[in-house]
Amino acid sequence: MFRRSGCLMFLVLLGLLTMTFTASAEQRVGIVFSTGGLGDLTFNDAALRGLQKAKKDMGISFQFIEPKDVENLEDHLKAFAMEDYDLVFAVGFQHEAALTQVAQDFPHINFAIVDSVVSAPNVSSVTFMEHDGSFLVGVLAGKMTNSNIVGFVGGMEVPLIRKFQSGFEQGVGFVNPDARVLVDYAGSFRAPALGKQLAISQNERGADIVYHASGATGIGVISAAQENGFHAVGVDSEQDHLAPGTVLTSMVKRVDVAVYETIRSLVEGNLQPGERHFGVAEGGVGTSDFQYTRDIIPQDALDAVESAKAEIISGEIVVIDPTR
């Protein structure tokens, strides 16, 4: 009887030790989103998908903060660092100044930032070649426009968003030198009503296709296109399903892949500081798969997009990055 009880006690203790080991081995990730917040159907939502997949595949746990403004970003990042999270993610270029300071204050914490570069020995910086992906949707718009006028609606007029604008303009001009691009900025990533107003204004001035790079503001752009009978191009996440047949394609920016791969490096023990770039060749940027519009897009337009993609990868086409 004693032996059986002792054996049982040993197994219980072994189970407790195993549970303790598993809990301590779980990697904790804290993430501070961009001020656009969740529900933007683009940038932040893509980052969340990467987190959820990492949790499912690797067993990590995560907590997140949705900041209302940039003034509190440093405090939000510090909150995770003070709790000794294994990785603290800053999503968006708005975090650059705050993370520069916090990374210096907490040198033992691993940090990562999306869409900006912070040069520090404990920061991994993830950037995308948005100008290359925007070139591809510009090629499509240049081939598809009937009015020879297309539009671009940006969120905040900052270097990052100018990469989207410039790439789009270059792509349009590459296949259609006669086309003109109208450009407006909303000054916000969370103003769908203003996005709608700007898109309608561009349509009234002749634009029959409007590409947005504006976070939740772009929801208004897509709504305007759907209600007024012109086409839109989505951004960051695949937005084609929001208005099937109206959204020609989306310039997909795989923030989810970047977040997932960074977390995998952490879990596998090979997370490195420095820069990591995601372009067309890496599958980091590109077009969605035309699920709802393949039947209305001429084959020569689809071919032009594929040709441009191949030439960007080969180096035959070099899209100018306006920030460099």
Alpha-carbon torsion, ordered 70, 265, 321, 294, to 10 deg: -100
**Does residue 57 sit in helix, strand or coil?**
helix
- How do the domains of the chain map onto residue ranges? 27-128+255-278, 130-253+294-314
Contact 214, 186 (CB under 8 A): yes
Q: Do domains 27-128+255-278 and 130-253+294-314 have the same CATH topology?
A: yes
Domain 27-128+255-278 in CATH: superfamily? Response regulator (3.40.50.2300)
CA dihedral 22, 27, 32, 33 (to 10 degrees): -90
What the block records as the tokens of 125 is 């910086």
Give the number of residues written for the chain: 324
Residue 322, classed as helix, strand or coil, is coil
Q: How many CA atoms lie within 13 A of 143 on its CB side?
A: 21
Q: What is the pTM of this model?
A: 0.83
State how far the Cα of 59 lies from the Cα of 40, in Å rounded to an integer: 26
The β-bridge partners of 91 are: 114
The secondary structure of 144-209, three-state, reads: HCCCCEEEEEECCCCHHHHHHHHHHHHHHHHHCCCCEEEEEECCCCCCHHHHHHHHHHHHHCCCCE
Residue by residue, pLDDT tens for the chain (324 residues) are 333 344 444 333 444 333 333 334 689 999 999 987 898 887 899 999 999 999 999 999 999 999 988 899 999 999 999 999 999 999 999 999 999 999 999 999 999 999 999 999 999 999 999 999 999 999 999 999 999 999 999 999 999 999 999 999 999 999 999 999 999 999 999 999 999 999 999 999 999 999 999 999 999 999 999 999 999 999 998 999 999 999 999 999 999 999 999 999 999 999 999 999 999 988 899 999 999 999 999 999 999 999 999 999 999 999 999 998
The structural architecture, per CATH, of the domain 130-253+294-314 is 3-Layer(aba) Sandwich (3.40)
- Dist CA 139 CA 131 (whole Å): 12
CB 181 within 8 A of CB 171: no
Cα angle, residue 192 at apex, residues 189 and 194 outer, rounded to 5°: 95
Query: Helix, strand or coil for residue 309?
Result: helix
